[in-house]
Amino acid sequence: MEFSAAQIAHIIGGTVEGNPTATVSSFGKIEEATKGQLAFLANPKYEEYLYSTAADIIIINEAQIVKEQLAATLIKVPDAYSAFALLLSEYQKLKQQQLVGIQEPVYIHASVKKGERIYIGAFAYLGENVIVGNGVKIYPNAYIGNNVTIDDDTTIHPGVKIYHDCSIGKNVVIHAGTVIGGDGFGFAPQADGSFKKVPQTGNVIIEDNVEIGSNSTIDRATIGSTIIRSGAKLDNLLQIAHNVEVGNNSVIAAQSGISGSTKIGNNVMIGGQVGIVGHLSIADGSKINAQSGVSKSMKTPNTAVTGSPAYDYTAALRSQALIRKLPEMEKRLKELEELMKKMEE
C-alpha cells in the first residue's frame, strides 16, 4: 500500500512542508530508513539523522528547529511519537480489514452467532452460544468456550484460550498464549491438613479498548466477575487472580502478580515484577516501582511507592542516599570517638 504525504497528514492532523504528493509504502527507523519509507523524529538524541536519512517523508514535532535544507518532505505535528503511533495503528487496521473468511478445518458450533467481516483461522474452536461481533479476528488454534461474547473489532491471537461465560469488549487485543477465565486459586484448608477446592463459578469481563500481552493469565471470579476496565494495558506474563478489578487506563508491566480481590484504581502504573497482596485497594493515579512488594492498601491518590515492603518513593530515595553515605559517616564517627577519648585523657 502506498500513501502520499497529504494523505498521511490528514490522518494524523499534521502540516506538510515539502512535496504533498511524495509517497511511501513502508516504515523505517530514522537512522536506517531508505527511499520509499516513512520515519519519525521525537527524541532529540536522534536529531543528527534528520539530515542524513534517506526517508522520503519524516514526521517531526512542530517545535523541532530544522537547521539545514532537507530533501525529505516533513509532516509537522504537536507530538511526533503519538502521531506515529496513530499512523501505525491505522495501517494495522487497514491490513487486518483485508483478513476475512473462515479457514478449514475449524469447529464452530451450530449455535454460534457470527458478525460481518470476521476471520476465523484454522484449528480454532468456538463452543455453544458464542457470539462473535463484526470485524472480529480469531487466529488459528484459539479456543473460545461456551457462552463467550466477543464484541466488534476485537483480535484474538493464536493459541489464546477463553473459558466459558467470559465477556470480551470492543477493540480488544489479546496476544498469543494468554488464558482468560481459568479457575482462581481457591482452596479451603481442611482439619486433616489437606485442601478442598472451592469451585470458581464467576467469569471474566474485559471491557473496551483493552490490550493484553502474551502468556498472561486472568482468572475467573469465585463468585461475580474479575474485571479489566476500559483502556487498561496489560503486559506479557502477568497473573491476575480471581475477583481482581483493574481500573480504566491502568497499565501493568511484565511478570507482575495481583492477588485475589484486589481493586486497582484508574490510571494506575505498575512496574515489572511487582507483587500485590490480596484484598487491597490501590488508589487512582498510584505508581508502583518495579520489583515492589505491596502489602498494604494505597489510599491516597497519585502517590508513588517502591521497595519490598513498598513505601513512599521520595522517602525511599532519601534512605538510599543515606545508605550510600554510611561508610563515610562510620569513619567520621570513629574519628569523633578517638577525639573524645583524647579529651578525656
Question: Which residues participate in catalysis according to the annotation?
Answer: 242
Contact at 8 Å (CB) between 103 and 118?
no
- Residue 8 in 3-state DSSP? helix
Q: Which residues are bridge partners to 125 per DSSP?
A: 107, 143
Contact at 8 Å (CB) between 233 and 210?
yes
Strands ordered across the beta sheet of 217-219: 107-108, 125-126, 143-144, 161-162, 179-182, 217-219, 239-240, 257-258, 275-276, 293-294
Sign of the torsion formed by the C-alpha atoms of 129, 130, 133 and 134? negative
List CB contacts of 157: < 8 A, sequence separation 6 or more.
139, 142, 173, 174, 175, 176, 214
List CB contacts of 99: < 8 A, sequence separation 6 or more.
119, 137
Using H for helix, E for strand and C for coil, what is the string for 204-254? Answer: EEECCCCEECCCCEEECCCCCEEEECCCCEECCCCEECCCCEECCCCEECC
Contact at 8 Å (CB) between 72 and 64?
no
The grid coordinates of residue 167 equal: 465477556
**Count of other CB atoms within 10 angstroms of residue 335:** 10
Displacement of CA 131 from its chain's centroid (Å) = 26
Provide φ and ψ at 92, rounded to 5°: -65, -40
